[in-house]
Structure 1
């Protein structure tokens, strides 16, 4: 790194986008990812679609239990 950087021509908020949604990366263990990928292939859907489907069901179960 440099000792100093010239920010005299910088623009505050140049890359700010109001309402932009933050997408969090989610890392699965190898065995879970392998199993879910196989299930998604068997159903003929994308892995992310299967994971979203499963999580939505879990969320409903959690809501019903509380």
Structure 2
């Protein structure tokens, strides 16, 4: 090991503070099938896709529209 390290070009960890919380929700079968198909297409786990989509909705402050 070196006696000293140069951290002048270091960047903060972007994942600090992003703690995941396990929850249980009921999602209809068609919705789960959709995300599983997207998972097969993209190679990303379907739970991750659902999380990414919900996070995007929250960041964009989307509101539900009930017809």
TM-score, L = length of structure 1 = 0.56
Aligned Cα root-mean-square deviation (Å) = 2.0
Which residue of 2 is the match for residue 62 of structure 1?
A: 61
Structure 1's unaligned 5+ residue stretches are 1-20
1:39-54 paired onto structure 2 within 5 Å: 39-54=38-53
Q: How many residues align?
A: 43
Runs (4 or more) in structure 1 with deviation over 6 Å come to none
TM-score, L = length of structure 2 = 0.56
Higher relative helix content: 1
Which has the higher Rg, Structure 1 or Structure 2? 1
